[in-house]
Structure 1
Amino acid sequence: MSGTSPPLAPEVTDVPSGPPRRRPWGRLVAVGLIVLVLAAIGLRGRLPAPHEILGALGGAKYGWIALAALLQFASIESFALQQRRLLNSLGAHLTRGHVMAITLAGTALSISMPAGPAVSTAFTIREYQRGGATREASAASAIVSGLASIGGLALLYVGGGLALLAGSPDGLLNWRPLAVVVALAALTTAAILAGRRLASRPARDAARPAGNRVARTLQGLLRSGRDAWRAGAELRIADWVFALVYATVKWLTDLLCMVAVAEALHLPVGVTAMAGIYLSVQIVRQVPLTPGGVGVVETALAAGLTAAGATGVGAAAAVLVYRVLSCWILIPIGGIAAVTLRRTRDQKS
């Protein structure tokens, strides 16, 4: 790993003491209000009357809802454990609580802001550096995590496709997303193999013509990206396997969370149909039309559940409970985690 490449993210330096910063509660409240407004706009006219939804929630099995909440926590915990495993393998040793706080704060940014995934990735890399990881290890962890996430989702698609094939051979003909994800999995595998081949080559740090400022910046970014990719490619096969397993568990527990919510609200939708709805919506979810897919994901889930046999009221209630557990409640929790990270950093400085 080259030690002369420019930093991928700004280095952490001591900041001179000055007037205390304002606490970010105002911004957190503003973000929460914006998300609620977007949800209201996106769902306007598409939900049953509030008293009908409250009636459906009143007859819910709350033991199943509690199980759904635990499954959602397990999904987030799986991602945090994946990150800690990768960082440890790359030479950074962050505590479990520290990584979980970064994960929660990064998730809140991802689902609450325009271009959320990019903002979340930049925040996560910076926080890993502040925790003691090198810039290459921080970026490599993000790269490997993204590849593993695609692989984990692909495994669920393949499993769902095989289940459909076993139940009804004709059903696989309508499983169009499977082909898309298989192609993505193939591209991911090719990228991993290419990265490992790159890692086996010696680094070239020979001086190059300086060029103008833009050219130097682009060259620096390319070298930093190369070093990060080289660091990730040098991971052991076991590290990649564990990253893939954690990613698969993350997706699977999120799916089971939705299944538990459907069971709590007595929806007449089988697990196979529920998995098909969930996996289809994941493709819609990747198009960043709104922060966190607010309005888009809810509409797609409600339409899928209704088409599978659920009533409009039951589908709406299930979608609201699932989205509260998997998205909306994570915004204030992530905000609290971000404040905790800042306070801990201020106390150490």
Structure 2
Amino acid sequence: MSTTIAPPGRGATTRRPRVTDPVPERAPGAGRSRTRRWLRVLAVLVVAGVAVWFLARELPSWSVLAAAFQRVDLPLLGVAAAVETFSLWLFTRQQQVLFAGFGVRVPVAPAVGITYSRSAMSMTFPAGSVASAAFAVEQFRRFGASRSTAATVTVLSGVVSVVGLCCLYALGAIAQWALPRPWQAITVVTVALCVIVPLARRRARHTRHPKATPPLPARPLGRVATVVRARLSDVATLPGRYWAAGIGYATANWAADLACLLITCAAFGVNVSMTQIGVVYLGIQLLRQIPISPGGIGVIETSLVAGLTLLGADNATAAAATLGYRLLSCWLVIPIGLAAWLALTRLARRHPRSPVESSTTWSSSETRRGPTPTP
């Protein structure tokens, strides 16, 4: 059976095809970007609300604060600002050392930008620690780190920071015990070195090779357990010198931040001993781990003012010293971190990751004989 198509002419109409506008396809990340935008707006509103509440309820009158700021020692406050900047640089070095242990070299300038950006995110977003960690993982992948290595180092950096804070207070307790007893302290240090140094050399002679990662099982819980075991195996094969360097930089980072608080208190004339301020600082750092507000804004200020006041400082002087310390350690970091985030974003657009870099993996055993990328 054949179908005859009439030629165009009388009695026949030619239909022209309708030209319709193509339906625009929705970008895969459009919904997520809109959600992130609203989350950022919400974070800014939360920070502004907490700041207004703190200024209205906890601080003394503006005239009293202005008088306290007029009596501040500006050179000492400048020293405190330099010490806080040095503290952030020490955190940058901590990140670089841990990545070097896995064979990844991160240049200084991008590493500093990542540090300031992460600090600004953790102080601004409601879930700032999670957002800053995810941002760090994506940024460090641009320098040859695989996603698993970047995630491992990011988590390991948090562990090293906690160990560094414990080491700082352990060293403080040892110093308080050792200063009145110099000869006993020298004897204890000598005996400890005689025991630790031979053990460290013996450990360095035995090279541990990581086991091959087994294939992922079918069950989700089994996959998670296998990935966790693989990450722990990578951490266990990290050479001891990188552990020591990372913990050393973390301890120095906490010490510099505490020194910034001490110098700021001295600049505003707070008559409180160093030991008492150190105890208040430890309580603030423990309270900071509770995600009550972004970056602890409002909570840390209130706690620090209350702690210094209970230790005998004047309310206006304690409030002025608190504002000065938070200005140097938090509020000024946010605009600098925003500028660093914009610079890193522009750099990532100009120099995107190549396919080789994005799929590069590093193993700890290859680190000892030189980093060799394995696709």
TM-fit CA distance, 1:32: 5.0
Task: Say which of 292, 296, 321 aligns to 1:293.
Answer: 296
Match of 1:337 among 328, 335, 340: 340
1:88 deviation in Å? 1.8
How far apart are the structure 1 equivalents of 2:216 and 2:270? 65
Deviations 1:299-349 (CA, angstroms, capped at 9, x unpaired): 111111111221000000000110111111111111111111110111124
Quote how far apart the aligned CAs of 1:154 are.
0.5
Q: 1:279 to 1:254 in 2, by over 3 A?
A: same
Could you tell me how far apart the structure 1 residues matched to 2:42 and 2:102 are?
A: 37
Contact 1:48–1:316 (Cα < 8 Å) also in 2: yes
1:8-23 equivalences under 5 Å are none
Matches of 2:327 and 2:41 in 1, distance apart? 17
1:30 CA displacement: 7.3
The corresponding residue for 1:253 is: 256
> Are 2:142 and 1:139 aligned?
no
State yes or no: 1:60 paired with 2:69: no
Q: Residues 193-247 of structure 1, C-alpha deviation per residue, up to 9 Å, x if partnerless?
A: xxxxxx8662352463x35xxx2xx544444333333222211111000000000
Q: Matches of 2:179 and 2:107 in 1, distance apart?
A: 45
Q: 1:94 and 2:97 equivalent?
A: no
The alignment's TM-score, normalised by the length of structure 1, stands at: 0.77
- Residue 306 of structure 1 corresponds to 309
Please state how far the C-alpha of 1:26 moved relative to its aligned partner: 11
Residue 154 of structure 1 pairs with residue 163 of structure 2: no
Report whether the alignment pairs 1:203 with 2:212.
Answer: yes
In terms of mean alpha carbon deviation, does 228-237 or 60-69 score higher?
A: 228-237
Number of the residue aligned with 2:124: 112
Q: Is the 8 A contact 1:160 1:275 kept in 2?
A: no
In the TM superposition, 1:181-192 aligns within 5 A as: none
Letter in 2 for 1:90: F
Deviations along 1:256-306, whole A, 9 cap, x unmatched? Answer: 000111111111112222112111221111111111111111111111111
Quote how far apart the aligned CAs of 1:166 are. 7.0
Task: Name which one, 1 or 2, has greater alpha-carbon Rg.
Answer: 2
1:4 — aligned with what?
none
Q: Which residue of 1 aligns with 2:324?
A: 321
Structure 2 letter corresponding to 1:103: T
User: Which deviates more from structure 2 when the two are superposed, residues 224-233 or residues 271-280?
Assistant: 224-233
Measured in 2, the distance between the counterparts of 1:325 and 1:298 equals 13
2:95 to 63, 78, 83: 83
Separation in 2, partners of 1:255, 1:246: 14
Cα deviation code 1:114-150 (max 9, x no counterpart): 1211221111112111232122321221122112111
SS at match of 2:57: coil
Whole-angstrom distance in 1 between the partners of 2:45 and 2:324: 18
- TM-score normalized by the length of structure 2: 0.72
Give the equivalent residue in structure 2 for 1:11. none
Q: Does the 8 A contact of 1:43 with 1:299 survive in 2?
A: no
CA RMSD of aligned residues (A): 2.8
Q: Which amino acid letter does the alignment assign opposite residue 161 of structure 2?
A: S
| From 259, 282, 286, the counterpart of 1:283 | 286
Flag the 1:207–1:320 CA change in 2: closer, same or farther, 3 A. closer
In the comparison of the two structures, how many residue pairs are matched? 295
d(CA) in 1 for partners of 2:89 and 2:277?
23
Q: Which runs of 5+ in 1 are unaligned?
A: 1-14, 169-198
CA drift at 1:83? 0.5
Which region of structure 1 is more displaced relative to structure 2, 279-288 or 72-81? 279-288
Deviates more, 1:287-296 or 1:227-236: 227-236
Tell me which amino acid in the other structure corresponds to 1:319: T
Between the aligned partners of 2:37 and 2:316, the Cα distance in structure 1 is 35
Q: Quick check: 2:90–2:253 contact (8 Å CA) kept in 1?
A: yes
Post-superposition CA distance 1:33-81 (Å, at most 9, x none):
6423312224532110012111111111111111111111111100101
2:185 matched residue in structure 1: none
Aligned match for 2:277, one of 254, 265, 274: 274
- State the distance in 2 between where 1:26 and 1:146 align: 28
Q: Do the aligned partners of 2:80 and 2:264 also contact (CA within 8 Å) in 1?
A: yes
Cα distance, 1:28 vs structure 2: 7.2
- Distance in 2 (CA, whole Å) between partners of 1:26 and 1:73 is 32
One-letter amino acid of the structure 1 residue matched with residue 52 of structure 2: A
TM-aligned CA distance change 1:313 to 1:103, over 3 Å: same
